[in-house]
Amino acid sequence: MTEQQMRARVRYVIGPDGSPLTIADLPPRDTKRWVIRRKAEVVAAVRGGLLSIEEACDRYKLTVDEFLSWQRSIDKHGLPGLRATRVQEYRD
């Protein structure tokens, strides 16, 4: 089974708050204000196979580095690591 076929089978993933997350639940394509919840939803969608990293970056006009920084922040500090304020407390 190819990656494309596997992705076609994934209809939802579990979002950061524990509820099901579908493509329709993701932030709008024109999102400009990236709050913690929205960042976490996009990361969960990619990790769960709802979107590829390329699709997410294209959809939201993100760089791969920006998206990967969100993933690293979640891995290292949990959701508080995605805060835009006090970011210096969570950076090395």
In a domain, residue 89? The reply is: no
At 77, which CATH number? Answer: 1.10.10.10
User: Helices (DSSP H) in 2-87: which residue ranges?
Assistant: 3-9, 36-48, 53-60, 64-77
What does the pLDDT look like over 41-75, one tens digit per residue?
A: 999 999 999 999 999 999 999 999 999 999 999 99
The yes-or-no verdict on residue 7 having pLDDT over 80 is: no
Q: Is the pLDDT of residue 15 over 80?
A: yes
- Residue 90 falls inside a structural domain: no
Look at residue 1 and tell me if it is in a domain.
Answer: no
In a domain, 20, yes or no: yes
- For residue 92, being part of any structural domain is answered with no
- Decide if 74 is inside a domain: yes
Count of domains for the chain = 1
The model's pTM: 0.83
pLDDT of residue 83: 87
Position 61 scores a pLDDT of 96
Closest CA to 41 of 51, 30, 27: 27
Residue 37, domain extent:
12-81
Angle at 81 between CA 75 and CA 85, to 5 degrees: 165
Is residue 43 one of the residues assigned to a domain?
A: yes
pLDDT at 11: 93
pLDDT above 90 covers what percent of the chain? 76
